Amino acid sequence: MRKPEAPSPAGTTPAPARSPTLGASGDEWWRGAAIYQIYPRSFADSNGDGVGDLPGITAHLDHVASLGVDAIWLSPFFVSPMADFGYDVADYCDVDPLFGTLADFDALVARAHGLGLKVTIDLVFAHSSDRHAWFIESRASRHNPRADWYVWADARADGSPPSNWQSVFGGPAWTWDARRRQYYMHQFLKEQPQLNVHNPAVQDALLDVLRFWLKRGVDGFRLDALNHALFDPRLRDNPPARDHGPRTRPFDFQERRFSQDHPGVIAFVERIREVCDAEAAERGTAIFTVAEIGGARPLPLMKAYTAGDSRLSSAYSFAFLYAEDLTPRRVRSALAPWRGRPGRDGLGEGWPSWAFDNHDAPRSLSRWCPADMGAGERQHFARLEVMLLAALRGNIFVYQGQELGLEQDEIPFAQLRDPEAIANWPLTLGRDGVRTPIPWRDEPGGGFTTGVPWLPLSPANRARAVAVQDADPQSLLAWTRRVLAVRRAHAALRTRALEDCRTSGALLVFRRGTGKGSLLCAFNLGRKPLRLDVEGTTLLAANGATPAVLPPWGAIYIAG
């Protein structure tokens, strides 16, 4: 790994910083923060090659800051052959030329900080690219300094793979390599070999990656697929899955008892926290860490990875990302384990992070709005959705374009880029439809590029462009800014406990905090008006809601 370089001077003049609102000392700026996810390929293209880049992001950070969010999360921008569009990393400490340079990254950080935005980046520690120098050396022989930096195993007596483990993207999680006459493990694409994070030297190298980006001014890390980082060293076979849900891949037929979720991840998590705390002590402000934890039963891992003061800040919930509908019972069930202890703001039980959309899941409006819903009704639903997300206890993530009400784009098979979608077409919806570029203007190319976009923009989403909604005070963009401003201004919505969560049919009601400053949050997730009949002062209401009545898709925050 190259030695860290000193950050280059920023190429832009920072705007005046906003006053911090999440703790006067800034010690835990992230607790209750709203974080905006940027998928670099699809945010803004500065050079006309059809792919978004770091200078494009920097040039449009004013839009992000105008939303009232506290931080950005950048999906991978590292050197990569792009087999999985950046989640196959060939160099953890450099920027892929497609996206720019390290100097461009430094300029982005400086501009973000000047706008009062913290910067969180996505790190992939479970696997690398097969073109990473570490893997090239590891596969060269069974006897070299990095021979055991990846997961290698001999074939069974009949030549078959060492275990029955299956990869997420389809097929065995093992590929034969003639150089070593062994199989190597990969939980995703064969171009993404599994790092042997059981090896202390591998952990040391990954912790050096953290230090490299911390010294460049990064404020936090989203740790991709962290529960995939360790595995059963005995390589025992996974048992068959006990549930009989949808099965579109061999991966779905197994209970992943031995191929992921190894308890040894906890010790690695604590080492990550030590590195981040050392940097935080120098800065006088916390470093944010959030784990992505998928799987059939993620809750125990989410709790374990965030318990106490020596592990991660938060865990990223999948409770809503692939949900086919949005119901009061679903919300109540998701929130129940994270209500918080009165007077302690939940410090004793871990801290969740919530998202309705991200770069992997189909757009929530396309999943949750009934097919017969008209444009006006969809706008009402979108307004309710923003208010519900902002009322959740924990950190909230807003995925780029969510503030515009973008819907899932339909990508013809010939234009698909997502390897999972291509391999499993048409049973797997794929990720391309949520990764189409941001429309900045309603014109060909959407103002995203002067060239041909790497994925096509639909006319329907182009009509929802930033410039169009900026000019309309009644737009969803304007509403999102208003809702996030209310969340920023009220500690009850950012950090206080969730109390008395109740559901009745389409009605969802809960309170954030107790006593002075608490807020009642009520939502009608249906098409018929509902009686509410509560007392208090309306702080914010959507779609004509009042303390007496919630119209269809009505939502309200009530103080008192």
Query: Under DSSP, is residue 536 helix (H, G, I), strand (E, B) or coil?
Result: coil
Task: Output DSSP code: residue 403.
Answer: G
Whether 244 and 327 share a structural domain: yes
Least confident stretch, 64-73, 217-226, 418-427, 440-449: 418-427
DSSP letters spanning 221-256: EEEETGGGS---TT-PPPPBPS------SGGGGB--
- Report pLDDT for 20: 35
Instruction: Kindly give the interhelix angle for 476-489 and 375-391, rounded to the nearest 10 degrees.
Output: 20
Listed residue (314, 316, 325) closest to 358, CA to CA? 316
Quick check: is 224 catalytic?
yes
Is residue 515 in a domain?
yes
**28, 91, 219, 224: which is the annotated catalytic residue?**
224
| pLDDT mean over 131-156 | 98
Residue carrying structure tokens 């990095």: 146
Q: Do 484 and 502 share a structural domain?
A: no
Are 226 and 125 a contacting pair, CB within 8 Å? yes
Quote the CA–CA distance of 111 and 263 in Å, as a whole number: 40
Residues 231, 282 within the same domain: yes
Q: Determine, yes or no, domain membership for 166.
A: no
The pLDDT, as a whole number, for residue 11 is 33
- Residue 160 counted as domain residue: no
The single-letter code of the amino acid at 73 is: W
* Residue from 291, 297, 292, 293 nearest 311 by CA: 291
Which pLDDT band holds residue 428 (cuts at 50, 70, 90)?
low
If asked whether residues 400 and 506 sit together in one domain, one would say no
b or e along 316-341 (b: 16 or more beta carbons within 10 Å of the residue's beta carbon)? bbbbbbebeebbbebbbebbeebbbe
Residues 517-536 have pLDDT tens digits of 999 999 999 999 999 999 99
Closest CA to 78 of 60, 99, 109, 59: 99
Residues 250 and 302 in one domain: yes
Q: Is residue 165 part of a domain?
A: no
Alpha-carbon gap, residue 33 to 314, rounded angstroms: 11
Indicate whether 178 belongs to any domain.
no
What confidence score (pLDDT) does residue 23 get?
35
Residue with tokens 């077409």: 425
DSSP per residue over 420-453, as a string? Answer: HHHHHTTTS--SGGGSSPP-SSSSGGGGT-SS--
Lowest mean pLDDT among 28-32, 175-179, 240-244, 374-378: 240-244
pLDDT at site 414: 85
Same domain, yes or no, for 417 and 513? no
CA distances (Å), origin 125, targets 139, 353, 354, 551: 19, 20, 22, 47
Query: Given this model, what pLDDT does residue 315 score?
Result: 96
* Bigger pLDDT: 458 vs 26: 458
List pLDDT tens digits, range 333-352.
999 999 875 434 444 578 99
Choosing from 70, 130, 292, 357, which is the catalytic residue? 292
Looking at the fold, whether 94 and 114 belong to one and the same domain comes out as yes
Share of the chain above pLDDT 90, in %: 85
Shared-domain flag, residues 521 and 418 = no
27 is annotated as an active-site residue? no
Q: How far is 251 from 166, CA to CA, in rounded Å? A: 5
Q: Which three-class secondary structure state does DSSP give residue 415?
A: helix
The answer on 380 and 514 residing in a single domain is no
Mean pLDDT of the chain: 92
**Of 430, 464, 488, which closes a domain?**
488
CA 183/CA 510 separation, integer angstroms: 52
Last residue of a domain, one of 425, 457, 488: 488
Domains held by the chain: number: 2
Beta bridge partners of 95: 78
| Measured distance CA(543)–CA(377) in Å, rounded | 10
* pLDDT number for residue 560: 81
Average pLDDT over every residue of 80-102: 97
Over the stretch 9-59, which tens digit does the pLDDT of each residue have?
A: 333 333 333 333 333 334 899 999 999 999 999 999 999 999 999 999 999
* Residue where one domain finishes, among candidates 441, 467, 488: 488
Provide the phi-psi class of 171: left if phi over 0, else alpha when psi is between -120 and 50, else beta. Answer: left
Question: How many of the other CB atoms lie within 10 Å of CB of 42?
Answer: 25
Report yes or no on 185 lying in a domain.
no
